[in-house]
Amino acid sequence: MTTLVIGAHPDDEVLGVGGTIAKLAAAGEEVCVLIVTDGSSTQYPGDRVKRAQKKGELEACCRTLGVGAVVHGDLPDMQLDTVPHTKLNDFIGDHVATWRPDTIYTHYPDINRDHVRLFESTLVVARPRPGAFVRRLLAYPTPSATEWDVPLLKRPFVATCYVDIEAHLETKIEALACYDTEVRPYPHPRSAEAIRAIAAGCGVKVGLRAAEEFMLLRDTAWA
């Protein structure tokens, strides 16, 4: 069993799916992470030091979570709407073809335009064609993006499945701490205290102490 987590920016993987990644890895399953943008070119234009720092933070985070393989792309941060749709499709598709995951987690299309473009391209790559090996497709919310969207403008995120991460929450917190460039003081959503609160809030919806929530987009595992 191979699971692929696709994110637009370094830290998306741990914010949205960190506890689930740690749980799968601890159970011996293969987990791959694909981050498609450089994560720094808009915030720090031309700063190669920051680019290298982001890459180092991503790799440290993934080691903490137990990720088996990680790729850090170089598409422009916060500018995926300037990248041809087919180019983004091909970039994702090449790695999906290499890893052949049966499950993919991708962004829910929220207020962040990079998340929207990534969601759209993932749907293209994971089309349920005859012989397709991707059997389950899920969307994850991203703290500091999804909850800041305006429901009046689009359909809001609605969770349809939950993963118990009580035993792996502290690993998620430890992995998030690898991102010196992204962690913020509480009550910002990208803080350790907020991540614990979010996990507790998700958990109490389904009788758990800590959970991550997802929207199931497609499941053909029983087809």
What is the rounded CA–CA span in Å between residue 150 and residue 217? 21
Of the chain, the percentage scoring pLDDT greater than 70 comes to 99
Q: In terms of pTM, does the model score above 0.75?
A: yes
Closest CA to 115 of 94, 147, 145: 145
In this prediction, residues 101-119 reach a mean pLDDT of 98
Residue pLDDT, tens place only, 61-93: 999 999 999 999 999 999 999 999 999 999 999
Residue 223 scores a pLDDT above 70: no
In this prediction, residues 170-179 reach a mean pLDDT of 99
Choose which CATH entry (3.40.50.10320, 3.50.50.60, 3.30.565.10, 3.40.50.2000) describes domain 2-219. 3.40.50.10320
| DSSP per-residue string spanning 84-139 | -HHHHHHHHHHHHHHH--SEEEEE---S-HHHHHHHHHHHHHT---TT----EEEE
SS3 157: coil
Chain centroid to CA 169: how far? 16
Residue 111 scores a pLDDT above 80: yes
Backbone φ and ψ of 51, nearest 5°? -60, -45
Residue pLDDT, tens place only, 118-143: 999 999 999 999 999 999 999 999 99
In this prediction, residues 27-39 reach a mean pLDDT of 98
**Local confidence band at 54 (pLDDT 50, 70, 90 cut-offs):** very high
Q: Hey, how many other C-beta atoms are within 10 angstroms of the C-beta on 101?
A: 25
Contact predicate 140/214, CB 8 Å: yes
Q: Is the peptide bond before 187 cis (omega within 30 degrees of 0)?
A: yes
Closest CA to 106 of 17, 201, 210: 17
Strand order in the sheet with 103-107: 69-75, 30-37, 2-7, 103-107, 136-140, 211-219, 161-164
SS3 58: helix
